[in-house]
Amino acid sequence: MKLAVFNAYRIGVVDGEQVYDITQVLPEPLRDWRYGHMNWLIAHWSSMLPAIHAARAAAQPLALASVNLHAPVPNAPHVFAAPANYRKHINELGVRSVSKGRSAREQGFFLKAPGSVVGPHSKIVLPRGSQRRFDHESELAVIIGRAGRDIPRAQAMDYVFGYACLMDLTMRIEPGVAEEERSMRKSFASFTPVGPFLVTADEVPHPDALQNRLWVNGELRQDANTRDMIVDIPEMIELVSSVLALSPGDIIASGTPEGVGPMLPGDTVTIEIERVGRMSLHVIEAAQVAPRAF
C-alpha cells in the first residue's frame, strides 16, 4: 500500500493517480494532533487494517494532482542516518568530508533533526547569500513500524514498516575555515525531503536490490543500487537499536552512493528509487539573511 499525508495532515491511500482519504479510521481524540496521525496509524497498523480497507473502499477518490502532499511521516521521533555507506562514495568529497575513509560500520549513525523533514511539494531552502557548498545525497529511507531495543539483525526486517525516497541535504565543511558539526549542517529546515509516499514493506520485497537515482535539472548525478550498501538495512537496525529504542515512525536514512554534488538556487533536484517512488523539489534561497549567516 502507498500511504500519503495530504492537505490538513489527512491520511490517504494512493492508487495510481488518485488518493483515497482514510483519516476517519483515526480515533477522535487524535484529530487535534494531526502531525502524529501517521505515527499512530503505523503503531496500530495490524489491528486497523480491516478498518483501513473499509474506509478505502467507501472513499471518493481525489486526484493526486489536486492535493498538497506533506512528508508521509511528518513527525518522525528520530531521523537516524548512515554516513559513508557506499564504498565508492567514501573519499569522493576529499577534504570536505569528516569521514576520513571510515565507513558507516566504523562510524555508526548520526542524527538529523526531525524538524528538517519536509514533503515532496516543499522547496529546498538554502541560506540567503551563502557562499558555502550545499550538496544533494540520494537515499532510501527505512520507516520503522514497531518499538524495539537490541534487535538482532536476523529479526530486524520484522521491524520495518515501509520505505520512502529521502534526500539527505548537507552544508559541507570548509577545512580550516568552517567545520561545524555534521548534525547541524544537515539539519537546516527543508534539508530532509521525504516522500512522495510511504510504501509498505510488502510492496518492496527486495529493498537490498533497488536502483537509486538522482538528477539535477534533468542531468543524472547519482545512479547506484542499494545492494552496494556497506551496512545493510538489518545491520543498521541492529546497530541503532543497540544504542536506543526504535519507535514507530522513526526514519533511517540508509546512506548515499557516489555522485554527491552541489545544488544551487534555481535548480530542480529529482530522486527516484525503484518501487518506492519519485519526487522533484525546487531549490530556492531563504527570503532573508539569518541573524547567524553561513
The residues binding Mn ion (CB under 5 A) are 137, 168, 256
Sign, CA dihedral 38-158-197-227, equals positive
The residue sitting closest to Mn ion, measured at its beta carbon, is 168
Q: Which residues contact 126 (CB under 8 A, 6 or more apart)?
A: 134, 188, 263, 264, 265, 283, 284, 285, 286
Shortest distance, CB of residue 65 to Mn ion, whole angstroms? 30
Shortest distance, CB of residue 138 to Mn ion, whole angstroms? 9
CA distance 68 to 123: 13
As given in the structure block, the three cell numbers for residue 43 are 503503531
Shortest distance, CB of residue 255 to Mn ion, whole angstroms? 6
The 3-state DSSP class for residue 157 equals helix
Backbone φ, ψ for residue 62 (5° rounding): -110, 145
Shortest distance, CB of residue 82 to Mn ion, whole angstroms? 7
Q: Which is nearer to Mn ion, 61 or 92 (CB)?
A: 92
Element (H, E) at 262: strand 261-262
Q: Are strands 219-225 and 211-216 parallel, antiparallel or unpaired?
A: antiparallel
Q: Which is nearer to Mn ion, 137 or 267 (CB)?
A: 137
Shortest distance, CB of residue 99 to Mn ion, whole angstroms? 10
Q: Which is nearer to Mn ion, 84 or 237 (CB)?
A: 84
CA distance 64 to 86: 34
